[in-house]
Structure 1
Amino acid sequence: MVSSATVRILCVAGTRPEAIKLAPILLAAAERPNLDCRLCATGQHDALFDEALRDFGLSPDVRLAAPPHDPSPDVMVSRFADTIEPMLMDERPDIVLVQGDTNSAYAGALAAYRLGIPIGHVEAGLRSHDIALPWPEERNRVMIDRLADLLFAPTPESAANIEFERDVVKGRCLITGNTGIDALLTMRSRLLVGGPVKGRRLILLTCHRRESIGSGIEAICAAALRLADRGDVDILCPVHPNPAVAETVHNFLGRHSAISLTGALPYRDAVMAMVRAHVILTDSGGVQEEAPALGTPVLVLREVTERPEGIASGNLLLVGTDPDRIVAETNRLLDEPALHAAMARPAFPFGLGDASAKILDAIEQYFSSAPSDDHPLPFARTWIMDSAR
């Protein structure tokens, strides 16, 4: 076990949301002399990943060359894991942190597990309870939780999901809040945000989910066109770089004067857009967490959500991808001030901004405690941490 020596933490990540949600941990760890926290970029998003980190004054410590792209999530995970494993042998961290449910996160956890390195899962326990929605994210987070030694659940509901799976999930679970709220409040404090914007109201639209590609994205775009025709709104749509999404969005929405299509927004600009929006239409998991804290109503363009806490707080409403439902519910928020006000009350179901501190406290405690029946060290840990030295 690691005693009073510095604990080496290696975060493995590859996408923009992971960069945003791990940034507060990296910043907080830099203030603790007994922690050495580094970041490995898998290359899954590359430019977007680096841009998100720059908003926090950070950059990767280790950068891997992304393996050739393959549309199959299983092939992508396998290729990433094979690339990550030799890097872990070089770095020899005491613990690997992964965040969320991406292919990079699953691959990082899988590679660490093969080598017997303890795994911490940031944002553990989220469940849609439908393995295909979203795919492959639901599969990824279920499998990461089964491999993890420390499970950092953002809410009591996510912790309850872990407890329900105790026959296969063996790690220690702690309720910490979501580090995305840490990042959001940090960035919000840096922005100069004025009062309500006069004139046409802003609708922020984001869509990219794999299960919606094709008819689902087309239906969302059809709803956006009908809303733009109202004449009293502007729609801002940052377009996801996935060609299967971008081509559809540009073909449907690229010629309407009330719709602005942009590339992915830098994180600070994305936060500003969420603050200024009258309503957000999104299938993004991160936005479902962030918008309640900002008091911006969200219509979720999905059939199920693994973030029911925002539904319970009254800030989110599931509407799916049916154009009639999307238009009807958006019109209600635009035309019924009382309904909008009810959904616009700021709420913090995903934490108060102190998740990073709680996660680092838990890691320090983990490595200062002797192994016990309810706190075993992973079976192969001595192989890499001792025999390989």
Structure 2
Amino acid sequence: MHHHRVDLVFGTRPEAIKLAPVAAALHAEGLAVRLVETGQHADLPRAGVGFGALDRRSLGCVTGDDPFAYARACAATYAQTCAARPAMILVQGDTASAYGGALAAGWLGVPLAHVEAGLRSHDRANPWPEEDFRRAIDRMAALHFAPTELAAANLADEGHARSVHVTGNSGVDALKAMLATLPPPQRREDATRRLLVTCHRRENWGRPLGDLAAAIGTLAARHRAIRIDVALHPNPSIAQAWAAALGGTARVRLLEAMSHRDMLLAMRDSDLILSDSGGMQEEAPYLGTPLFILRRRTERPEGIDTGQLKLIGIEREAIVREVTRFLDNADATAAMTSAAEPYGDGRAAPRIAAIIARRLRAATSATPPRQAPPGPS
């Protein structure tokens, strides 16, 4: 069945992490897999994701200020240079690269599969432009791989029920595989509480990030038995904003961007995470580390429902209040470390690959055989 090729279009570190298990599972199903990297994150290798010897090509698209223009440029470059059309195009999540891959599938007349379909915050501004991207991708997709029943219900409400498959999130597959390779936690030598902070979403640039930095400074000044690690994003403007706000602050460390493995170690070994990252919302419950969501809305409420995540916004007073309450209340810590698995069981990739393989086999068998040309009379 190697004549069936599936192109995986992606360009960011989270996409690479979540698509690696899917690529391996598609290959195991006997499908040809081609990785199409847009170039959205220039430092993609930093994620430490291995794809083996799969066929790869790079579009070399350089990011700009307009994510919609970037998506169209990626789609145009891919469509114009695609000498042999794939049997299917697969995208993950809600990035400009994913939207570009979806547009290209439409232009090429190729069926589209969407991994992590159906996530909704029901607020176009939070997160922006991801909420618009994920809705647009789902309108174009022929296969919707929903990570949870809630995501599937969102898709059903929008008229996509017949093409929806609840598979779990492939990010959990990647997480569980990586956890098996991590060394055991180190024994604590003191009572210092460790906080890990990340903030990079576009809607939090400017004043919201300044509020967060001010809250961190206040917490560091009030609590002496605390260490706050701020994991910097590779975006240089965000890193510079953090350095200007908190550089040299006692009990605060600014850490360079980390590989996926090193980030998981930092998350596991922290007492509390404050983050606006969607991927970290999915990973923290499996690590047993409480996470406060630095957003006004989230498209991943399942972890809130299990009590493992808490939505606190990104206003200075609220952050200081919620973190202080957490540090002073041991019962709150225990309540947020349950063993629930809100985003899947870690077997999403083989489910996704099996569904795609069946669809492509069915499409082949349904195609009438070509008639031989008439012989000589």
Scaled by the length of structure 1, what TM-score is found? 0.89
Q: How does 1:292-307 map to 2 (within 5 A)?
A: 292-307=285-300
Q: How does 1:59-208 map to 2 (within 5 A)?
A: 61-67=56-62, 69-87=63-81, 89-166=82-159, 169=160, 172-194=163-185, 197-199=188-190, 200-208=192-200
Distance 1:8 1:203, change over 3 A: same
Distance 1:58 1:321 in 2: 43
Q: Give 1:382's aligned residue.
A: none
Correspondence 1:351 to 2:344: yes
Is the CA contact (8 Å cut-off) linking 2:2 and 2:32 kept in structure 1?
Answer: no
User: What are the Cα deviations for residues 295-314 of structure 1, in whole angstroms up to 9, with x where unaligned?
Assistant: 11010000000001011010
Correspondence 1:23 to 2:20: yes
Structure 1 residue 267: deviation in Å?
A: 0.6
Q: Which runs of 4+ in 1 moved over 6 A?
A: none
Structure 1 residue 329: deviation in Å?
A: 1.3
Distance 1:293 1:250, change over 3 A: same
Correspondence 1:50 to 2:45: yes
**Pairs aligned (count):** 365
Distance 1:83 1:99 in 2: 19
> Structure 1 residues 196-205 or 20-29, which shifts more?
196-205
User: What are the Cα deviations for residues 199-220 of structure 1, in whole angstroms up to 9, with x where unaligned?
Assistant: 2221110001111111100001
Structure 1 residue 86: deviation in Å?
A: 2.2
User: What are the Cα deviations for residues 272-317 of structure 1, in whole angstroms up to 9, with x where unaligned?
Assistant: 0111010000000000001011111010000000001011010111
Structure 1 residue 141: deviation in Å?
A: 0.3
Is the CA contact (8 Å cut-off) linking 1:296 and 1:346 kept in structure 2?
Answer: no
Distance 2:114 2:53 in 1: 21
Distance 1:304 1:58, change over 3 A: farther
> Structure 1 residues 342-351 or 278-287, which shifts more?
342-351
Counterpart residue type for residue 321 of structure 2:
A
Structure 1 residue 85: deviation in Å?
A: 1.3
Structure 1 residue 53: deviation in Å?
A: 4.4
Distance 1:238 1:57, change over 3 A: farther
Distance 1:225 1:195, change over 3 A: same
C-alpha RMSD of the superposition:
2.0
Is the CA contact (8 Å cut-off) linking 2:152 and 2:161 kept in structure 1?
Answer: no
Counterpart residue type for residue 66 of structure 1:
C
Counterpart residue type for residue 351 of structure 1:
G
Structure 1 residue 44: deviation in Å?
A: 0.5
Is the CA contact (8 Å cut-off) linking 1:23 and 1:58 kept in structure 2?
Answer: no
Distance 1:55 1:261 in 2: 27
Structure 1 residue 371: deviation in Å?
A: 9.3
Q: Give 2:31's aligned residue.
A: 35
Is the CA contact (8 Å cut-off) linking 2:9 and 2:97 kept in structure 1?
Answer: yes
Distance 2:336 2:51 in 1: 30
SS at match of 1:30: helix
Distance 2:146 2:231 in 1: 29
Q: Give 2:211's aligned residue.
A: 219
Q: Give 2:240's aligned residue.
A: 247
The higher radius of gyration belongs to 2
Is the CA contact (8 Å cut-off) linking 1:238 and 1:265 kept in structure 2?
Answer: yes
Q: Give 1:236's aligned residue.
A: 229
Is the CA contact (8 Å cut-off) linking 1:159 and 1:175 kept in structure 2?
Answer: yes
Q: Give 2:9's aligned residue.
A: 12
SS at match of 1:317: strand
SS at match of 2:8: strand
SS at match of 2:83: helix
Structure 1 residue 368: deviation in Å?
A: 2.3
Scaled by the length of structure 2, what TM-score is found? 0.92
Structure 1 residue 333: deviation in Å?
A: 1.9
Distance 1:236 1:55 in 2: 27
Distance 1:212 1:60 in 2: 37
Distance 1:354 1:233, change over 3 A: same
Distance 1:56 1:74, change over 3 A: closer
Is the CA contact (8 Å cut-off) linking 1:206 and 1:238 kept in structure 2?
Answer: yes
SS at match of 1:344: coil
Identity rate, percent: 44
Structure 2 unpaired stretches of 5+: 368-377
Distance 1:202 1:36 in 2: 45
User: What are the Cα deviations for residues 315-361 of structure 1, in whole angstroms up to 9, with x where unaligned?
Assistant: 11110011111112112222211110110123211001000011001
SS at match of 2:60: coil
Distance 1:177 1:348 in 2: 10
Counterpart residue type for residue 267 of structure 1:
H
> Structure 1 residues 237-246 or 289-298, which shifts more?
237-246
Distance 1:56 1:256 in 2: 40
Structure 1 unpaired stretches of 5+: 378-389
